[in-house]
Amino acid sequence: MYPPPPPPPPPAPHPDFISVTLSLSESYDNSKSRRRRSCWRKWKQLSRLQRNVILFLLAFLILCGFLTYIHMADQWKALSSRPEEEQKMRPEIPGLKPANPPALPAPQKAGASPEDIPQRSPQKLRKHFRRGPPRLQIRAPNTVTKDGTQDDPKEPEVAPSDAQEENNPQHAVISWRGAVIEPEQNTELPSRRAEASAKPYLQASRLQKEPLPPNNRQKGVIEAFLHAWKGYRKFAWGHDELKPVSRSFSEWFGLGLTLIDALDTMWILGLKQEFEEARKWVSQKLSFKKNVDVNLFESTIRILGGLLSAYHLSGDSLFLRKAEDFGNRLMPAFATPSKIPYSDVNIGTGVAHPPQWTSDSTVAEVTSIQLEFRELTRLTGTKKFQVAVEEVTRHIHALSGKKDGLVPMFINTHSGLFTHPGVFTLGARADSYYEYLLKQWIQGGKKETQLLEDYLKAIEGIKTHLLRHSQPRKLTFVGELAHGRFSAKMDHLVCFLPGTLALGVHHGLPADHMELAQALMETCYQMNRQMETGLSPEIAHFNLYPRADRQDVEVKPADRHNLLRPETVESLFYLYRVTRDRKYQDWGWSILQSFNKYTRVPSGGYTSINNVQDSHRPEPRDKMESFFLGETLKYLYLLFSDDPDLLSLDAYVFNTEAHPLPIWAPT
């Protein structure tokens, strides 16, 4: 046998020391290159699955960070539009100041706290022309006399409260409402560089001078405004419209429509305390981040136009920031195949759509937003506003389906073509198309001859196809044409036309336009005078055949309501400014007295009525439209003014909601 193998030697004991080798040639300094090589070796040691998981998580984190950035950017943008009093330490944003100081410092309440008063840095004279309004010539009265201008002391005013805004929620309801001109190139889009190098331009009518104190009739308008405002302030503060009889309110957009519509009226009437209180609401309460549909046309002329006008008159950049925010929220309406905008847009979600019953928009809606969007571009330098609306104007200009300059009432947003052809009117759904042809031409410095050509052609079309004379007094009126058949129907809305014709004559258009304007003005006044209440019905029909038992103006039961509309007094203002004939002031005073007698509500406010033919039972409708403060009373105040430079027709053009915007200075 073999001997067993010897046992294995015991394991060597572990050393209880560490051997460190020092090298004189290099040293370990925790350098980035060594760390990179170490990290790379560790990365290579990971399995493919582990590396894929890490890469996926890294990509996920990057995506989350990007989305967070977008969300925060929206919040930063919202912060940038806070009122001035919340941003006192921020530098003034270039382009958001008027080109010249406003005629008055911003109205302030007596004893107002400093934090409620907008802060403005002193404006220095500069050699270049900046975006903004021209130097204004209007002045607000220093004081408002007590006789006839203050509210009834027996009814102390109740301060508006935030809680009042949260009560009585209402559902939104949607409703309608021979000169030689040298040809020049179309108006170019404004740019910061172009405007910076433009020469200053001031017309003689814009020179500063002391304001005339309000006369007795103007004081009557101030008193009427204060009475209407008292009702709104008590019962509808911050809401769209006052219901004066039930002492409540109604909502349309939920954006304080009456308040915004009345801002420039308060400034013009010199109501400092009321203006400052309304400004504070705009600063602290007005937010457009709402999930609500608004009508593009109505919200543009009332809200956007009201904010732009308030900015021009007061010089307060709060209103311009709000206007730019709102304008951006309206832009999705133009995202249609034809670029003809949808009628409605949600200002919170950015979703635009046509009405539920059709894919059409009305021609007046899509062609009566140009003044406001063009001015927003001029003030902000953002071209998209003007580009969008002028594309609509060019499209309508080139479109077939017109009749000697007259346009149908509807247009399809998908095809971009007129629908319901053969029906022509100057009433609802088409009226302000004609008005804005002239006013855009004036606004742009009379350069866009295409607009002037369309306007002049349309006036000739009106004379040819729509003009008739009634019996027995041979009143001149504008009817309607449906597939070749004439209807002796005239909306009260058509009473804008005398004023528009007179405005054109003031700016050098044919003198025979004034003859037509005066004849139509007489008709519109008779539409009021021949009613028992002295107030016009919504729609009138005219007698074309002589009969001893019939008057010129006839009213159907469904058309005899009055909504406190401004068109008659609007045209009276223009006719008086151009002719200086005081009979137009007398006619306006008569209408104001009728408003006071048949529509005034004792607790505050004025109401539309159902029956203008019954002076004993006019039947209040319990609604005060925002345009009563924004248009009707403003035009009455200007009509009664003896100062032709108070919002001179050579310096300003009024939008279709009576908000004055400056005529662009030529470069």
Model confidence over 463-473: pLDDT tens digits?
999 999 999 99
DSSP 206-231: G---PPPPP-HHHHHHHHHHHHHHHH
Q: Which tokens go with 179?
A: 């000169």
Q: Which residues contact 661 (CB under 8 A, 6 or more apart)?
A: 305, 308, 309, 312, 371, 372, 375, 443, 652, 653, 654, 655
DSSP 304-371: IHHHHHHHHHH--HHHHHHHHHHHHHHGGGG-STTSPPPSEEETTT--EE--TT-SEEEHHHHHSSHH
Cα angle 196, 202, 207; round to 5? 135
Q: Are 637 and 585 in contact (CB under 8 A)?
A: no
More confident residue, 307 or 114: 307
CA distance 560 to 40: 88
Q: Which tokens go with 315?
A: 């010089």
More confident residue, 304 or 33: 304
Task: Decide if pLDDT at 88 tops 50.
Answer: no
Burial class (CB in 10 A: 0-12, 13-18, 19+), 481: middle
Task: Decide if pLDDT at 373 tops 50.
Answer: yes
Q: Classify 486 as helix, strand or coil.
A: strand
How far, in whole angstroms, is CA 510 from its chain's centroid? 31
Q: At what angle do helices 567-579 and 512-529 cross, to 10 degrees?
A: 140
What's the whole-number mean pLDDT along residues 84-111? 40
Most confident of 33-47, 199-213, 349-363: 349-363
What's the whole-number mean pLDDT along residues 152-177? 41
Type of residue found at 38 = S
Residues in the chain: 667
Task: Decide if pLDDT at 14 tops 60.
Answer: no
pLDDT at 206: 40
Task: Decide if pLDDT at 551 tops 70.
Answer: yes
Q: Are 636 and 567 in contact (CB under 8 A)?
A: no
Task: Decide if pLDDT at 667 tops 80.
Answer: no
At 547, the pLDDT band (50, 70, 90 cuts) reads confident
pLDDT at 127: 36
What's the whole-number mean pLDDT along residues 162-173? 40
Spatial strand order in the sheet of 489-491? 489-491, 539-542, 553-554
At 74, the pLDDT band (50, 70, 90 cuts) reads low
Task: Decide if pLDDT at 539 tops 80.
Answer: yes
Which range among 16-25, 250-259, 287-296, 448-457 shows the weakest confidence by mean pLDDT? 16-25
Model confidence over 397-454: pLDDT tens digits?
999 999 999 999 999 999 999 999 999 999 999 999 999 999 999 999 999 999 999 9
DSSP 190: P
Q: Are 227 and 599 in contact (CB under 8 A)?
A: no
pLDDT at 15: 53
At 665, the pLDDT band (50, 70, 90 cuts) reads confident
The runs of H, that is alpha helices, within 252-302 are 257-269, 272-284, 296-299
Model confidence over 607-664: pLDDT tens digits?
999 999 999 999 999 999 999 999 999 999 999 999 999 999 999 999 999 999 999 9
CA distance 259 to 264: 10
pLDDT at 436: 98
CA distance 278 to 238: 9
Q: Are 524 and 495 in contact (CB under 8 A)?
A: yes
What's the whole-number mean pLDDT along residues 495-503? 98
Q: Mean pLDDT of all residues in the chain?
A: 82
Task: Decide if pLDDT at 333 tops 60.
Answer: yes
pLDDT at 648: 96
Q: Classify 424 as helix, strand or coil.
A: strand
Residue whose structure tokens are 């270049």: 128
Most confident of 129-143, 270-284, 347-361: 270-284
Residue whose structure tokens are 């009576």: 658
The catalytic residues are: 298, 431, 538, 567
Instruction: Give percent helix, percent strand, percent coil of the chain, each to the nearest 5.
Output: 45, 10, 50
Q: Are 465 and 404 in contact (CB under 8 A)?
A: yes
pLDDT at 548: 82
Bridge partners (DSSP) of residue 562 are 609
Model confidence over 313-331: pLDDT tens digits?
999 999 999 999 999 999 9
Q: Which residues contact 47 (CB under 8 A, 6 or more apart)?
A: none
